[in-house]
Amino acid sequence: MPVALCTMSHSPLMGRNDPAQTVIDDVDTAFENARTFIAHFAPDLVVMFAPDHYNGVYYDLMPPFCIGAAAQSVGDYGTEAGPLDVDRDAAYTVAREVLSSGVDVAFSERMHVDHGFAQALQLLVGSITAVPTVPIFINSVAEPLGPVSRVRLLGEAVGRAAANLDKRVLFVGSGGLSHDPPVPQFATAPAEVKEKLIDGRNPTEAERNAREKRVIDAGRDFAAGVATIAPLNPQWDRTLLDVLASGYLEQVDSWTNESFVEQAGHSSHEVRTWIAAYAAMSVAGKYRVTSTFYREIPEWIAGFGITTAVSIDE
Ligand SMILES: O=C(O)CCc1cccc(O)c1O
Ligand SMILES: [Fe+2]
């Protein structure tokens, strides 16, 4: 069965701190093209890699990776809340293959996910229940992180599992590219924030609003050039897009986690989701990137990219 790929940046600042209308129009067109691509491919299953931002997964038990056999969206930033339409059988099959490969992935019968999953599903397929999904969490914010080579191996193992599902599988990666939104860091957080990073599920409405306001304010300051967060790095982003399109994904193995932070900001680790998706795609043979959108969008605190790809031997 054929496989296809769509990777995209997400940003909950979309619609909350918008750039010029021409930029929005360009992004809308790119998403429209991605939706057309996906509709044409007609996936039976979405296998989706996405991060979390201390809305669903916390330091009480922080896995590097987790496959969900069932998942709940927390509905942060006005995204759709409630259960995703998870294909449990496919999730178990994928988990078995990944574990057999020696990648020690966590597994959940009630994974909690945030805008990293929900916004992408809503933008690409319309809702969190539109297409059966296997959600795969990739820790992209909570230190310590393993080497990015492990993410590539995770992606390959997922790709092998997908090949045995007898389904048209769309691999999705959600996150990145270069960006440094004000996500708290455990090491430097004050005690009360530390506690929220360990066990912050079900925040009060006031707590959620305060968190979201902090990020929205940061977006406003960043676009005005007065924020203290790291700049976007379009050159780094373009290099990453080139590496992913080249098919020679082992190149990322030499990229240290420190280099991601130094060159592209703390949340650039979210491109782990793109690396995993492309690695999964690579298992089916050579692939061709069929569309690439890229634009720096400081208002959304994102080097903002959208790509689609198909197998060449399809
Ligand atoms: O609320 C948060 O913790 C971060 C929100 C956020 C902002 C910009 C780009 C992102 O990828 C993102 O996730
Ligand atoms: Fe994010």
Tens of pLDDT, residue by residue over 103-148, are 999 999 999 999 999 999 999 999 999 999 999 999 999 999 999 9
**How long a stretch of residues is the chain?**
314
- Under a CB-based contact definition with an 8 Å cutoff, are residues 267 and 183 in contact? yes
Tens of pLDDT, residue by residue over 216-229, are 999 999 999 999 99
Residues enclosing ligand 1, CB less than 6 A? 10-13, 53, 175, 179, 181, 183, 215, 267, 270, 301-302
Q: Which range marks the domain in which residue 287 is found? A: 3-311
DSSP helix/strand/coil, 138: strand
Predicted local distance difference test score (pLDDT) of residue 121:
98
This model of the complex carries an ipTM of: 0.99
Residue to substitute in 269, 301, 306 for testing ligand 1 pocket (most ligand atoms within 8 angstroms of CB):
301
Annotated catalytic, 179?
yes
For residue 50, the number of C-alpha atoms closer than 13 Å in the C-beta half-sphere is 33
User: With pLDDT > 70 as the criterion, what percentage of the chain qualifies?
Assistant: 99
Which ligand 1 atom lies nearest to the CA of residue 176? 11
The DSSP secondary-structure symbol of 287 reads E
Which ligand 1 atom lies nearest to the CA of residue 116? 13
- Under a CB-based contact definition with an 8 Å cutoff, are residues 272 and 278 in contact? no
Ligand nearest to the CA of 217: 1
Q: Which amino acid is at 297?
A: I
**Measured between alpha carbons, how far is 282 from 244 in angstroms, rounded to an integer?**
10
- Under a CB-based contact definition with an 8 Å cutoff, are residues 115 and 97 in contact? no
Burial of 152 (0-12, 13-18, 19+ CB in 10 A): buried
Tens of pLDDT, residue by residue over 139-186, are 999 999 999 999 999 999 999 999 999 999 999 999 999 999 999 999
Domain CATH code at residue 67: 3.40.830.10
In whole numbers, what is the pLDDT of the chain averaged over residues? 97
Q: Which of 10, 53, 112, 179 is catalytic?
A: 179
Tally of structural domains, the chain: 1
Q: Among 291, 287, 277, 280, which residue's Cα sits nearest to residue 310?
A: 287
Chain-centroid distance, C-alpha 215: 18
**Measured between alpha carbons, how far is 87 from 76 in angstroms, rounded to an integer?**
23
Predicted local distance difference test score (pLDDT) of residue 137:
99
- Give the residue carrying structure tokens 């939706």: 35
Annotated catalytic, 10?
no
**Measured between alpha carbons, how far is 311 from 314 in angstroms, rounded to an integer?**
5
The rounded Å distance from CA 164 to ligand 2 centre is 31
Predicted local distance difference test score (pLDDT) of residue 188:
95
Average the pLDDT over 41-52 and give the result: 98
Select the more confidently predicted residue: 314 or 240: 240
Which runs of consecutive H residues, i.e. helices, occur in 4-50?
21-41
- Under a CB-based contact definition with an 8 Å cutoff, are residues 19 and 296 in contact? no
The DSSP secondary-structure symbol of 156 reads H
Q: Whose Cα sits closest to atom 9 in ligand 1?
A: 11
The rounded Å distance from CA 120 to ligand 1 centre is 13
Residue to substitute in 10, 77, 137 for testing ligand 1 pocket (most ligand atoms within 8 angstroms of CB):
10
Which ligand 1 atom lies nearest to the CA of residue 141? 3
Predicted local distance difference test score (pLDDT) of residue 255:
98
Q: Whose Cα sits closest to atom 6 in ligand 1?
A: 11
Predicted local distance difference test score (pLDDT) of residue 148:
98
- Under a CB-based contact definition with an 8 Å cutoff, are residues 119 and 53 in contact? no
Neighbours of 196 (CB within 10 A): 17
Which ligand 1 atom lies nearest to the CA of residue 211? 1
Which ligand 1 atom lies nearest to the CA of residue 212? 1
Ligand nearest to the CA of 9: 1
Q: Is the pLDDT of residue 211 over 90?
A: yes
DSSP helix/strand/coil, 308: strand
pLDDT-derived band at 314 (thresholds 50, 70, 90) equals: low
Q: Which of 10, 53, 112, 115 is catalytic?
A: 115
Q: What are phi and psi of 80, to 5 degrees?
A: -60, 130
Under 8 Å CB-to-CB from 135, ≥6 apart: which residues? 48, 50, 67, 68, 71, 84, 86, 111, 113, 117
The rounded Å distance from CA 101 to ligand 1 centre is 32
